[in-house]
Amino acid sequence: MTEQHNENIERADMPCISKADQLSKHITGRIISGQWKPGQLMASERQLAAEFGMSRAMVRESVTQLVGKGVLQSRHGQGTRVCNPMAHLFDEHFGDLPQDSYELQLAVLEMRTVIDGEAAWYFCQRASAEEMQMLVSEFERMEQRRHHAMTPLERAKADLTFHMLIAEHCHQILIISLAQLLYSKFFNAIYGVLGRTHRRTGAYPPHIEEQHRNIFQAICSRDAETARLAAEQHILTTRQTLEQLEPGRQS
């Protein structure tokens, strides 16, 4: 019986699946599962060949397939990277928007509400112990630098690091992809508000650190729902800060 079954399965599956195809599926799986992230440098062809017990020729064939599909991108002398599957759509729709438009900043905050909330939620559910430890270390580093004088750009980069660390390790391909695109393409739209607040008040918005700590603590206790709420609240407060900076434009 069992043998019969196996035979059928083999008959149905084997005839068309070459080794290269198998590898392609495996790689795609790793990407979809978030194990390999967009932008990440893959292991070299030689390493992959060793890891999967096949020749480099087969790895190359598989990589060629995936490059053709826009999943991977290889560069001579540099390596092969995972492409961001959302990049194309993102560029298409948000191509060359002016970064300083008020409406764009609101729209970006709208998106951040979803992305940062989900990122915190998935991080709680899926991050490994090592990844959690990375977050702890990063947070401690931020706390230490808390009272040092920082330029708006430094401050923005520190904030970016915190949020991206959560997103990058949330093991959810969609969130990772979108977070990368949002934070890189709209860096100015996101962090311009920091500079403007600093210029007017001589300090950064006061809620940031406390809310970061709220997110951090919820994540530390793996409380996904609380983490999501804390992340959403963080964006909400940021929105209020933005609205106070542009008082005439509130609806």
Partner DNA sequence: GCTCATTCCTGGTCAGACCAGTACGCTACC
Partner DNA sequence: GGTAGCGTACTGGTCTGACCAGGAATGAGC
Task: Name the site residues for DNA (rule: CB under 7 A).
Answer: 15, 18-20, 42-47, 54-58, 60-61, 63, 74-80
Minimum CB separation of residue 89 from its own copies in Å reads 20
Minimum CB separation of residue 69 from its own copies in Å reads 6
48: closest CA among 27, 28, 64?
27
Q: H helices of the chain, where?
A: 2-13, 19-32, 45-52, 56-68, 87-94, 102-126, 129-144, 152-168, 173-185, 187-201, 207-220, 224-245
The one of DNA, its own copies, none whose footprint includes residue 69, by CB under 5 to 8 A per kind, is its own copies
User: Which residues ranging from 13 to 32 are in contact with its own copies (CB under 8 A)?
Assistant: 20
Q: Cα–Cα distance between 187 and 193 in angstroms, integer?
A: 11
Radius of gyration of the CA atoms of the chain, in A: 22
Among 28, 64, 188, 217, binds its own copies (CB under 8 A): 64
Q: Cα–Cα distance between 38 and 49 in angstroms, integer?
A: 21
Q: Cα–Cα distance between 154 and 169 in angstroms, integer?
A: 23
Binding segment for its own copies among 60-68, 79-87, 88-96, 114-122 (CB under 8 A)?
A: 60-68
The one of its own copies, DNA, none whose footprint includes residue 152, by CB under 5 to 8 A per kind, is none
Among 9, 17, 41, 57, binds its own copies (CB under 8 A): 57
Residue 60 is a binding residue for its own copies (CB under 8 A): yes
The one of DNA, its own copies, none whose footprint includes residue 87, by CB under 5 to 8 A per kind, is none
For residue 156, the number of C-alpha atoms closer than 13 Å in the C-beta half-sphere is 18
216, 223 in Cβ contact below 8 A? no
Q: Cα–Cα distance between 22 and 67 in angstroms, integer?
A: 15
The one of its own copies, DNA, none whose footprint includes residue 200, by CB under 5 to 8 A per kind, is none
Nearby residues of 224 by Cβ (< 8 Å), 6 or more positions away? 120, 121, 122, 124, 125
In the complex with DNA, the residue whose CB is nearer, 18 or 201, is 18
Among 69, 88, 200, 222, binds its own copies (CB under 8 A): 69
Among 40, 65, 184, 217, binds its own copies (CB under 8 A): 65
Minimum CB separation of residue 2 from DNA in Å reads 22
What residue ranges bind its own copies (CB under 8 A)? 20, 57, 60-61, 64-65, 68-69
